[in-house]
Structure formats: C-alpha cells, structure tokens
Amino acid sequence: MPASQPRSRARDRNNVLNRAEFLSLNQPLKGNQESRSSGRKQSGQAGAAGAQNTNPKERRQSQQLPEEDCMQLNPSFKGIAFNSLLAIDICMSKRLGVCANRASSWGGARSMINLLGITGHGIPWIAGTLICLVKSSTLAGQEVLMNLLLALLLDIMIVAGLQKLAKRKGPYDINPGLLDYLTMDTYAFPAGHASRVAMLSKFFLNHLVLAIPLRILLVLWALCVGFSRVMIGRHHITDVLSGFVFGYLQFRLVEFMWMPSNTCQMLISIW
C-alpha cells in the first residue's frame, strides 16, 4: 500500500490534464463560476434599472415600432386605386405647370397667366359688386347684386374652411400672394378661383340675359381661369375639378337661400 501511493501520485503528476492550464476542462473553478454568476446578476439588475428609468413614451414607441415599420403585404383594391390616381394627378399637374417659375418652358407667359387669375379672384369681385350696388337704382338690380354679394362671401368662407381641413399643398412650392392671404386661399384643395368662376358663370347664365356668343365666352373664361391655376403650379388638376363642383354646389345653395327684394332693401337701408 505505501508503495502504491507514491506511484499514483507520480502518475497524477505526469498526467497532462492535471496541469493548471488544462484544469478548467475537467472541473471549472468555483471562483470563475461565482464571478460569472455575479456578473450576470449585476447586468440583469442594471438592465432592469435601465428599463425602469426609461421614459414611458420611449417604451411605448419601442413597442409600437414593429407595427409602424411593418409593410402592408395585402393592400386593398381601393387603396391601390386611390394611390394610383393620386400619383397620376401629381405627375400630370407637374407636367402642366409650364408657368410655375421663370425657368419653366412657358415662364415668359407667367405674368399674363397671373393676370388671368386675378379676374377670378374674390377681392376684385367683391369690390366691384359693392360699387355696382351703390350705383344701382332699380330694385331688381339691387336684388341680384345683394345675392351675388352673398354668394361671393359664402364662397370665400366655404373654400377657406375646406382648405383648412384638407391642408393639401400644391404641386410646386409657391408662396401665395397678398390677395390670396386676404381671402384665406393658402392651400391647394379645393381651388378657390375654380369654385368662384364656376359659381359666377352659373349665376350670370341664370340671372342675366346674354347672347349665345357671350354665354360661350363666359364658360370659356371660367375654364381658362380654373386651369390657369394648374399652369402656374398653385393647384393640382383634381383641385380645379373639385373647385368647379363646389362652385356649382354653392350656386345651388345661393339659389336655395335667395333673398327677396324686401329683404335686400332692408339690408341696404341698414348698411
């Protein structure tokens, strides 16, 4: 027995796996395990503390990011059709904006197109209606002019309200003019000039006796003023078309709210 013990000790000494550098392969050191476990605990505690210290808004945003960044793989047919029509509208409006700036293909005609647009602005029409109302001496003329003034004021308020709700910008980054700010015509949808000329042309066609050439010229004037807003880059095509529709609806509203002659005389006497 005493001789076998020195032999076993010598065998253990000669065993390569019993060396210090290979000892961890057989039996990991307790100190390493404790250090690793303590490090994991500390990192876990630090992560929990960091999660508690984070802002609730950041945690909410981190939870919502996967849903926000996900791609809609099965869009509806209505969504595809709407986006396609919107892309076509923007592309065609940019192509037709030939007077959007001086560097455009028709940049030299920009001043003339702007002058055509002024003929459909609300401020000159309101001022002209007031002047004609002061100089008018017939009851029928005063009745028509008072209802025309009501139609112009309604057009400004309705278009301004719809533009504030939609807040759609034009195809080009063009700042509105001073007259546009006065009538609150600062956004693109619907086109205020288009709604106004559509309402005015329908109003004159119904309440004035005009020859056929004048009636045709009146309709052409309304179309030219409406699409001139596309040429200078202030509105899209759909903005102008919707403006024509709203102008017709405004005319129907004024016809429904038509003020008789005695009401007009009472308002004139108060004024």
Counting Cα atoms < 13 Å in the Cβ hemisphere of 39 gives 6
Q: Find the catalytic residue in 121, 207, 235, 236.
A: 235
In the structure encoding, which two tokens stand for residue 81, read together? 């059709």
Mean pLDDT, the chain, whole residue set: 78
Q: What is the crossing angle of helices 110-118 and 212-231, to 10°?
A: 120
Q: What is the mean pLDDT of residues 115-132?
A: 91
Instruction: Tell me how far apart the 2 most distant CA atoms of the chain are, in Å.
Output: 144
Q: What is the mean pLDDT of residues 107-126?
A: 88
Question: Would you list the domain boundaries of the chain?
Answer: 107-270
pTM over 0.75: no
| Residue 18 banded pLDDT, cuts 50, 70, 90 | low
What pLDDT sits at residue 218?
Answer: 94
- In eight-state DSSP terms, residue 186 is -
Q: What is the mean pLDDT of residues 225-241?
A: 91
- In eight-state DSSP terms, residue 208 is S
Give the three-class secondary structure for 122.
Answer: helix
Q: Find the catalytic residue in 121, 193, 207, 236.
A: 193
- In eight-state DSSP terms, residue 105 is T
Q: What is the mean pLDDT of residues 119-127?
A: 91
pLDDT(51) > 50: no
104 vs 251, higher pLDDT: 251
Q: Is 121 a catalytic residue?
A: no
Q: Is 235 a catalytic residue?
A: yes
3 vs 259, higher pLDDT: 259
Give the three-class secondary structure for 260.
Answer: coil
What pLDDT sits at residue 243?
Answer: 94
Spatial contact of 159 and 185, defined as CB atoms under 8 Å apart: yes
